[in-house]
Amino acid sequence: MNRQKADRMRELVNLLNRAGKAYYQEADEIMSNHEYDKLYDELKRLEEELGITLAGSPTVNVGYEVLGELPKERHESAMLSLDKTKDVEELKRFIGDQKVLMSWKLDGLTIVLTYRDGELFKAVTRGNGEVGEVITNNARVFKNIPLKISHKGELVLRGEAVISYQDFEKINEEIEDVQARYKNPRNLCSGSVRQLNNEITARRNVRFFAFSLVQAEGTDFKNSRESQMIWLKKQGFEVVEYRMVTADTVEEEVQTFSERILDNAYPSDGLVLIYDDIAYGQSLGRTSKFPRDSFAFKWADETRETRLLEIEWSPSRTGLINPVAIFEPVELEGTTVSRASVHNISIMEELELGVGDKIEVYKANMIIPQIAQNLTRSGMVDVPLACPVCGEKTQIRKVSNAKALYCTNPECQAKHVKAFSLFVSRDALNIEGLSEATLEKFIAKGFIKEFSDIFHLDRYDREIRQMEGFGEKSYKNLIASIEKARLTTLPRVVYGLGIAGIGLANAKVICREFKNDVDAMLHADEETLNDIDGIGGVLSGAFVSYFKDDNHIKILLNLLKELEIPEEIVDNTERILEGKKFVITGSVTHFANRGEIKELIESLGGKVTGSVTAKTDYLINNDVHSTSSKNKKANELNIPIISEEDFIKMTQGRI
């Protein structure tokens, strides 16, 4: 029963946090205030009943703190490394006639937690095994650590702080400087856990998985490690996934774990085995380096010999040009691999990579392709003197004691991926299938140099179909989305150019003022723009400055040749929704999507917001009798709820 209540408590924490984020950060509501208060009270009751409060709970407010440095502290008992093997037969010898707990060996940062009187008292990193760093303030903002537990005696446990592959990729995407990006989730986790400002830690989605109980004052675990893990779950901790195995079942279970590594949300570099019988394990003592009650199994890296075909030089938005090894395809860990990043020129020199060399490749942690060694070492390939994207000069620079190649051209297209990303975004040309990562690849290969080139990607159909992540279906979907984007509006185009400060709403105002006359807009002066309601001196200056650049004008005119922009008659007398505020929710049938309704409302002078408030005039919802939070709020405030058909009648003749 307590386990069900603990699960319900976690469910409530997640639900209430989603509602809070929607309300405070996204100006939206996923539940009414009444419903929020009801669930909040239920969470409080469960926390009091179970004596557990999770770090992410909305019932606690963990303050952010900035430290000058992380204090050091000596561990009460040394944290030894584990003896390890890649041989299952050796695991069988270790197990003997005992039962062992076998779990993921998570690849993160080991943390020791101490609780006193039911509250988190201290968190210390493993450090060198003897001395670690105190990171208590940071641990308080991990996503899943209990700040309060029901056990009142002293509790000491160990676990792994980790960051998921998904969060790792998301955080790395946000780091503009490629050299500053983290190499793997473990490095990111280490940097996140050891921050001096725990507000940064809070944004990194660090999670903690307990793997060992050191001490739990006054508690009898009946000499069983598994009993300890079950007890820790009841205290509100997430524990590392484990299986009870014997010498007869260990081989099968190792295979089961290895087959799941590619789908695992968190990085793992192997497995850990520990005797379930606590007294037996402790009786074995330890060596000078390892405890004898536990053993680590490391994934045996599957390696393949292949032949290096070429080094592809891939420019990035920071100007860094990354070397990528292209080799004859080989099967590794169940997938076909034909490329691996070499990272920088120093590594190339160390490997003495030359075209035609026989190389050995593997997947680090069974996931990331790497070159293990060069078997023939014919010598370094030539480093390009010109950027493969823009053709301007390159330069070798030393960064963090490693040599790297850079493009020296500040206007190189590869440095403007963000601009292309904005151009294809939903409020601009709305082209699906062109993620930032895909754009970066296309630009690096020279497929895209300016916006108009996107409408001619079919010139590279064969190359795109053969790219990793692309196939016939995804290619056809991309081309269809590009063709669909040709029919658009001038405000979307203006917004998509990325003029500083000019959002979609500003673009609509400017286009309406100039009656969609492109030539008039290109030659507008600051004074004229400044007179437009809602366009001040800063925006007018940015707009005029942008079109003083002849290249920007050329790019726009080339783009307009690819687009179909229907003639729009702007009549300010038709602004029948002037001053009216709408909220749109639910599915639509008469319009392609809710965005189309929003565009119509704004063209008629109205505004669309995300949440129902006392200032809302109408809520548009085809299910007018729905019990959704927005409908409830509208009914509470006596705000009319209208269907699409009601809205169409309201704007009859204007759609």
Could you tell me which of 386, 400, 387, 414 has the C-alpha nearest to residue 343? 400
CA distance 587 to 602: 20
Which segment of 172-186, 301-315, 512-526 scores lowest on mean pLDDT?
A: 172-186
CA distance 238 to 283: 28
Burial class (CB in 10 A: 0-12, 13-18, 19+), 500: exposed
* Catalytic annotation, pick one of 44, 72, 86, 105: 105
Paired strand residues for 270: 298
Give the tokens for residue 444.
């690096």
pLDDT band, residue 400 (cuts 50/70/90):
low
Q: Is residue 152 over pLDDT 60?
A: yes
Q: Is residue 653 over pLDDT 70?
A: no
Which segment of 55-59, 257-261, 265-269 scores lowest on mean pLDDT?
A: 55-59
Q: What is the mean pLDDT of residues 566-589?
A: 75
CA distance 256 to 103: 12
Q: What is the mean pLDDT of residues 456-465?
A: 89
pLDDT band, residue 245 (cuts 50/70/90):
very high
Q: What is the mean pLDDT of residues 340-352?
A: 85
Q: What is the mean pLDDT of residues 626-635?
A: 86
Mean pLDDT for the chain?
84
CA distance 240 to 237: 10
Q: What is the mean pLDDT of residues 563-589?
A: 77
Active site (annotated) includes residue 105: yes
Could you tell me which of 151, 104, 51, 442 has the C-alpha nearest to residue 273? 104
Q: What is the mean pLDDT of residues 166-174?
A: 81
By the 8 A CB rule, do 540 and 530 touch?
Answer: yes
Q: Is residue 179 over pLDDT 70?
A: no
- Summarised one tens digit per residue, pLDDT across range 463-498 is 888 887 777 888 888 999 999 999 999 999 999 998
pLDDT band, residue 1 (cuts 50/70/90):
low
More confident residue, 37 or 313: 313
The β-bridge relationship of strands 368-374 and 358-364 is antiparallel
Count of H helices and E strands in the chain? Answer: 24, 24
Q: Is residue 371 over pLDDT 90?
A: no
Q: What is the mean pLDDT of residues 76-93?
A: 86
pLDDT of residue 19: 74
CA distance 229 to 212: 8
Give the tokens for residue 330.
């080989």
Q: Is residue 419 over pLDDT 90?
A: no
Q: Is residue 540 over pLDDT 90?
A: no
* HSE-CB of 409 using CA atoms within 13 angstroms: 19
CA distance 616 to 471: 47
Could you tell me which of 298, 365, 375 has the C-alpha nearest to residue 333? 365
With 0.95 as the threshold, say if the pTM is over it.
Answer: no
By the 8 A CB rule, do 71 and 134 touch?
Answer: yes
CA distance 425 to 417: 12
Q: What is the mean pLDDT of residues 392-405?
A: 83
Which segment of 332-341, 382-391, 552-561 scores lowest on mean pLDDT?
A: 332-341
Give the tokens for residue 643.
């269907």
Across 278-282, 312-316, 376-380, 510-514, which has the greatest mean pLDDT?
278-282
By the 8 A CB rule, do 472 and 465 touch?
Answer: yes
Burial class (CB in 10 A: 0-12, 13-18, 19+), 427: middle
Q: What is the mean pLDDT of residues 402-426?
A: 83
- Summarised one tens digit per residue, pLDDT across range 186-199 is 888 888 888 888 88
Give Cβ neighbours of residue 443 (< 8 Å, ≥ 6 apart): 315, 389, 413, 414, 417, 420, 449
